[in-house]
Amino acid sequence: MSAIQPIIIALDYACKLDALNFVEQLDPTLCRLKIGKEMFTHFGPQFVTELQSKGFEIFLDLKFHDIPNTVAKAVAAASDLGVWMVNVHACGGIDMMKAASNALKNKPQNKTLLIAVTVLTSMSQQDLQAVGIQRTVEEQVLALAKLTYEAGLDGVVCSAKEVTLLREHLPKDFLLVTPGIRPVGSALDDQKRVLTPSEALKMGSNYLVIGRPITQSPKPSETLQQICLSL
């Protein structure tokens, strides 16, 4: 595991210059960067390469969910781009996840980690029921995490609230990446299942996704350093 701090900063900018101005304030030894659908659609693979040239490892958060062959080719393309991590939706099923996992395992010298999303941290129990899922949030997360492990992936995205549950049922080297992390005093925004960074790590999270508390800070470098010191 890299010596880089476990912080992954979620970049959410509509303007490339704003994003680059923000990134210039960061130390790549203290964090990784997450690029999601908005920025990847706006700026494309070249933006990933540009950030990598500045020393940052990239989590490409596109949550692939399609037929197995399509997803396998998509994650292989992400590996060709040299990203540190890429993800799929676990609800795409075990055949889809196995195809994606095998696509990376069959690539010589592949270093890209592959994880799956279980239940989005913006979803509540009522949200699950509204789409026909009768399991509790915890039951659904555990079921999908077990399926992900069976498919041969490296880990899952899950709320820090479910970390303890997953640590009880899955191997220690199975990675848990937790969004919805909010430092003490931060607004919850649209996240419904959150913990502080230190709480999440103590419970067994490997990587912490933090967005607005850092990206909207007037002094993002200082905020990042404070979070790292709190771990």
- Give the Cα separation of 164 and 168 in Å (integer): 6
Beta pairing class for 113-117 and 155-157: parallel
Alpha carbons 31 and 163: distance in angstroms, whole number: 21
* Terminal Cα distance for the chain, rounded: 17
Q: Is 63 a catalytic residue?
A: yes
Q: Which of 63, 107, 146, 192 is catalytic?
A: 63
Radius of gyration of the CA atoms of the chain, in A: 17
Cα gap 9→215, rounded to integer Å: 8
180 touches 203 (CB < 8 A): no
CA atoms within 13 A on the CB side of 158: 31
> Which of the 8 DSSP states describes residue 130?
H
Helix/strand/coil for 35: strand
Q: Among 40, 92, 86, which Cα is nearest to 65's?
A: 92
Angstrom CA distances, 155 to 24, 49, 189, 195, stand at 30, 24, 26, 19
- Exposed / middle / buried, residue 60 (Cβ in 10 Å: 0-12, 13-18, 19+): buried
Residues with catalytic annotation? 63
